[in-house]
Amino acid sequence: MSGFGTLFYKEVLRFWKVSVQTVAAPVLTSLLYLVIFGHALEGRVRGFGDASYSSFLVPGLVMMSVLQNAFANSSSSLIQSKITGNIVFTLLSPISYAEFFAAYTGAAAVRGLIVGMGVLVATLAFIDVPLAAPLWALAFAVLGAALLGALGLLAAIWSEKIDQLAVFQNFVILPATMLSGVFYSIHALPPFWRGLSHANPFFYMIDGFRYGFFGVSDAPPLASAAVVLTSLIVVSFVSLTLLKSGYKLRQ
């Protein structure tokens, strides 16, 4: 597994060298979301039980940061390597496709979790948020980060240029994240939109992660975990299959 360790270290070092852009900037963005939405909607939107809307908003923002940054890390790294042509050096090295997948996905998960932790620590300085089931929160954070890391890798394999990757991010990842219950509970939605939300895997990641803080959720946590884990297995299988075949990589 020396190949995995080297590639994983390279991918972690890649985003950490520009941590102001890859870590600090997303944390600041989430704090702005909290200030703006928390101030504008406090008392107008209900959260869970007696929790304030700002407290309800924090886990959603943390998980949104985890997911978006995990996707951005693996997708941007691979697409840049494809465009510049240096992907050939990785493909020629004695690294199996499984090690390749694990390194990119693992590094993406690390970035997502670091950013999520940064958002959580920063928000806790202003808002008191309970932590009813920390192991559930950690499990959903890890699974969600791994899933979006694998999805980012899949998107970068399919894309041949930055524009195609941007389409995937702007028309798939961003809408799915924003419509997953980050800023609201789906019980506040009309029946049609509530049912549609249950078809969104991002909803289960956000809802399950929020359960770890408040001990209540819109969907049973075990069901949410099953959906997220199944999605991770499916996306990982497709990504590994494409990597093994060399699809859009060995050209």
User: CA gyration radius for the chain?
Assistant: 18
Q: At 101, list the tokens.
A: 């997948």
- Nearest-angstrom CA–CA distance, 61 and 54: 10
The least confident of 96-105, 143-152, 173-182, 232-241 is 173-182
Helices and strands of the chain, counted as H and E runs = 12, 0
- Angle subtended at Cα 136 by Cα 180 and Cα 118, rounded to the nearest 5 degrees: 70
pTM over 0.95: no
pLDDT digits (tens, 9 = 90+) for 140-187: 999 999 999 999 999 999 999 899 999 998 999 988 988 888 888 787
Determine what percent of the chain is predicted with pLDDT higher than 90: 65
The predicted pLDDT at position 43 comes to 63
The predicted pLDDT at position 45 comes to 66
Burial class (CB in 10 A: 0-12, 13-18, 19+), 195: exposed
- Please give the residue that has the higher pLDDT: either 38 or 46: 38
The predicted pLDDT at position 251 comes to 62
